[in-house]
């Protein structure tokens, strides 16, 4: 019973957010889980855009749903993997540059406000660059846990939670990435050369209208 009420609560909040985001010129899809999100991208968004060359920014939701694997295996699509395990760092950076010229770029967002603003903080900047300009279309997969009331709480969420947790996550595969929050779990606004917090963006609206497509998911997903 509680689960049902909780789902209804989130469905109402997400329906309101969808309408707000649409007024900000985003194209919005509302789905119930990660599997549905994957199906929307593969069966609706990719065919509708005609995208053939696709790349990605960091998105746990896209990885965990198997979306990138399905795109890689789909005949007729070319997938540029910018996070392929084991590739040299210079190759990874070059792929991230090339990803800015793709037909479609898939990623996540650190937070979204109830006013429909996307709030992100990047280390390298490839993700926020692509969301802002470059790829012809952008798809953002977003779990309901990314919603915050306003800009201040969005930035607080990113500083106090997303950034330290992402630093800990990336440290596992890249031990050289070792800002102090990897040990403490707390942001100290460090000056570490491997600091993962370098560029903030606030995306108020999609330009051109509809370029940024947001898939809202009625589940807690991602960081
Ligand atoms: S500024 Fe430094 S300490 Fe704070 S979250 Fe970013 S990397 Fe961690």
Domain at 45, CATH number: 3.40.50
163-192, pLDDT tens digit by residue? 999 999 999 988 999 999 999 999 999 999
- Is residue 172 domain-resident? no
Domain count for the chain, please give it: 1
Q: Rounded mean pLDDT of 151-159?
A: 97
Give the model's confidence band at 137: pLDDT under 50 very low, under 70 low, under 90 confident, else very high.
very high
Burial of 63 (0-12, 13-18, 19+ CB in 10 A): middle
Inside any domain, residue 173: no
CA 88 vs CA 33, 69, 91, 95, 97: distances in Å:
34, 21, 5, 11, 15
Atom of ligand 1 nearest to the CA of 196: 7
- 34 in ligand 1 pocket by Cβ < 6 Å? no
181 CB within 6 A, ligand 1: yes
pLDDT tops 90 at residue 2: no
For the segment 50-66, what is each residue's pLDDT rounded down to a tens digit? 999 999 998 899 999 99
Average pLDDT over residues 123-145: 97
**pLDDT > 70: what percent of the chain?**
100
For residue 182, the ligand 1 atom closest to its alpha carbon is 8
Residue 191 in domain: no
Alpha helices in 58-108 (DSSP H): 60-64, 67-73, 89-98
The predicted model scores a pTM of 0.95
Structural domain that includes position 89:
2-148+200-217
Q: What is the mean pLDDT of the chain?
A: 96
Token code pair at residue 51: 């995208």
- 155 assigned to some structural domain: no
Give a yes or no: residue 129 inside a domain: yes
Q: Is residue 9 a part of any domain in this protein? A: yes
Indicate the pLDDT class of residue 13, thresholds 50, 70 and 90: very high
Atom number in ligand 1 closest to CA 186: 3
Distance in angstroms (rounded) separating the CA atoms of residues 112 and 150: 8
Q: For a pocket test of ligand 1, which of 124, 163, 199 has the largest count of ligand atoms closer than 8 A to its C-beta?
A: 163
Strands laid side by side in the 104-108 sheet:
27-31, 212-217, 137-143, 104-108, 53-56, 78-80
């Amino acid at each position: 019973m509680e689960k049902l009420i909780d789902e209804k609560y989130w469905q109402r909040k997400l329906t309101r957010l969808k309408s707000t985001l649409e007024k900000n010129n985003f194209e919005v899809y509302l789905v119930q889980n990660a599997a549905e999100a994957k199906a929307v991208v593969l069966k609706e968004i990719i065919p509708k855009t005609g995208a053939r060359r696709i790349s990605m920014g960091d998105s746990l939701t896209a990885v965990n749903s198997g979306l990138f694997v399905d795109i890689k295996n789909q005949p007729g699509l070319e997938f540029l993997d910018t996070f392929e395990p084991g590739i040299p760092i210079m190759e990874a950076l070059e792929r991230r540059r090339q990803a800015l010229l793709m037909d479609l770029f898939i990623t996540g967002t650190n937070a979204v406000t109830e006013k429909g603003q996307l709030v992100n903080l990047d280390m390298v900047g490839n993700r926020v660059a692509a969301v802002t300009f470059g790829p012809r279309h952008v798809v953002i997969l977003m779990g309901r846990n990314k919603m915050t009331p306003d800009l201040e709480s969005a930035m607080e969420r990113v500083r106090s939670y997303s950034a330290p947790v992402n630093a800990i996550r990336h440290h596992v595969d890249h031990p050289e990435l070792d800002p102090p929050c990897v040990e403490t779990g707390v942001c100290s606004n460090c000056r570490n050369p491997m600091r993962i917090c370098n560029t903030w963006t606030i995306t108020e609206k999609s330009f051109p209208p509809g370029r940024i497509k947001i898939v809202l998911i009625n589940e807690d997903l991602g960081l």
